Amino acid sequence: MIILTGDTHGEMERLLDFSDEIGLSQADTIVILGDAGINYFCDERDEYKKLLLQKMPSTLFCVHGNHEARPDTIPTYEEMTWHGGRVMFEPTYPNILFPLDGEIFDFNGKRAIVIGGAYSVDKYYRLHNGLNWFDDEQPDERIKEHVEKQLESVAWKVDYVLSHTVPFHMMPHHAFLPGLDQSLVDNSTEKWLQSIEERLTYTAWYAGHFHVTDTIDRIHILFEDYLELGED
């Protein structure tokens, strides 16, 4: 099985409980749609989380979010090919994978492209209070170019999109933080994703980021729930 879920923010116990509850095996994969919280501190606190996740038999496939370091900036990570696409992993924790943005993966004969990253609406709160903020949280021009080249290579046709945020016109407004001036929010990633969505032929799009569960047309936003890929 390929199971999707939303942001975990380092709360790995819920993944362990879910794994035990349904009896996941080595053949199964859990897709975390950004902000796994595994590379947030980049110190021994993250190592503790990874040790917990080693208890799971399944593979963890972690889309890049906006509250975590990119693995390709961490010296302990290496690159390999997995299910047809490139991922980053640490040899010490081989079941925890981080797909590179723009890579296309074969999931049971279906194509899935990964497009991670988003803007942190609490950026200035984090900077003011000494909390971690990552300046490469959003896809840069190099990543965007790679994503679009990859889509051109498959004639802009995939089965699934796995992202952190969603196209601009599909944003769940009811999930916006109350009192936040939306004119100050950088929606450039969402607007770029909208330009992607308008050209793309796809079956379903899955995302996290907003800490709600919602379905808007073919776009499924997940948080603490679980959904099997393709079972919409």
pTM of the model: 0.95
Output the pLDDT for position 231: 79
pLDDT, residue 170, reads: 93
Please report, to the nearest 10 degrees, the dihedral formed by the alpha carbons of residues 128, 47, 15, 31 taken in order.
80
Do 87 and 59 meet the contact criterion of CB atoms below 8 Å apart? no
Query: Could you give the CA distance from residue 156 to residue 124 in angstroms, rounded to a whole number?
Result: 37
pLDDT value at position 183? 76
What 3-state class would DSSP assign to 21?
Answer: helix
Are the C-beta atoms of 90 and 96 separated by less than 8 Å? yes
Q: Please tell me the CATH code under which domain 2-228 is placed.
A: 3.60.21
Tokens read off for 157: 């046709």
Radius of gyration of the chain (CA): 17
Question: 69 is written with which tokens?
Answer: 């370091």
Q: How far apart are CA 66 and CA 198, in angstroms?
A: 24
In the prediction, which pLDDT does 70 show?
Answer: 97
Instruction: Flag residues of the chain having pLDDT under 70.
Output: 180, 232
- The one-letter code for the residue type at 209 is H
Q: Say which residue the tokens 């902000």 belong to.
A: 35
Distance CA 90, CA 77 (A): 5
Tell me, what's the pLDDT at 65?
97
Q: Residue written as tokens 């349904």?
A: 22
